[in-house]
Homo-oligomer: A and B are copies of this chain.
């Protein structure tokens, strides 16, 4: 992810709250490890219960965990599940909290800057109100689902890939190259989506500006009986907004479908590799790898949506930056 000039807000926020940032990464990592230990322990269960040999026992033993009975398995499974729930809850709350704090700091800065501005730079305040609502939401998503999301989901996928690599390095190489190929394709899609998001945003702005303008000359409209003209004009802009949103939504749908598709293509590759005579993947290992890949689906979807959140947030940050610059040097 290339950082742009609008991202200095986020960098400054992360520098102001290093402890929270480290906390999110650490609890996120605990959550990732616990998530992938679940499939590993399930694979262990299959090996134990169906008396097949398994190579991931080695993986558990590296971590100092020995599962020798079904009872021990259920204890391990329960403990990992509880650890995952606690770490996941802390990670979620901390991520939400950082997103809210980021936006809180920004809106306070914007208000302070606007209220201290020269009277003549005030402009129409209707326009400014949107900076405090719509743009702040986009900025919050940019921070929590964009920047923190990229770190969190990236780390999750890396942990999973490392664990699969510990079981079967060759398979991991194939899966990894597929993932990289897909990431490239998604970044192209996202670059293609960017102008549509801009159009959609500017259509919404122009619709709102039109509403504000219509109401500011409400009495004039009434006197000249121009209401119907205003309604027609509003509906025309409303259709434009719908069209622009739908173009962006279609790409979003494609990204969503792609993530599920990719996960099963990866599972298909695992199954295909299992049929190869030169690869030795036992049934319990196959189960475990498939479960791990399925667990990655949410993180992959999150990662694929990162560019969209960054795009939307940066557009809003640009507008906010303009206010801040105007406020200080009118």
Contacts and interface: CB of A to CB of B under 8 A. Distances in A.
A119 B218 contact: yes
Copies of this chain held together in the complex: 2
A260 B75 CA distance: 18
Interface string A47-76: 001100000000000000000001001100
Contacts of A230: 115
Nearest to A235: B108
A271 B42 CA distance: 8
A221 interface: yes
A116 interface: yes
A305 B240 CA distance: 31
A192 to B, nearest CB: 16
Interface residues of A, number: 90
A100 B231 CA distance: 19
A227 B231 CA distance: 39
B287 A212 contact: no
A26 to B, nearest CB: 17
A97 interface: yes
Contacts of A107: 238
Interface string A258-285: 0011001101100110110000000100
Nearest to A287: B287
A234 B154 CA distance: 37
Contacts of A234: 108, 111-112, 115
Interface in A211-251: 211-212, 214-216, 218-219, 221-222, 227, 230-231, 234-235, 238-239, 241-242, 245-246, 249-250
B253 A74 contact: no
A218 B100 CA distance: 28
Interface of A: 38, 42, 45-46, 49-50, 70, 73-74, 77-78, 81, 84-85, 88-89, 92-93, 96-97, 100-101, 104, 107-108, 111-112, 114-116, 119, 122, 125-126, 128-130, 132-134, 137, 204, 207-208, 211-212, 214-216, 218-219, 221-222, 227, 230-231, 234-235, 238-239, 241-242, 245-246, 249-250, 252-254, 256-257, 260-261, 264-265, 267-268, 271-272, 274-275, 283, 286-287, 290-291, 294-295, 297-298
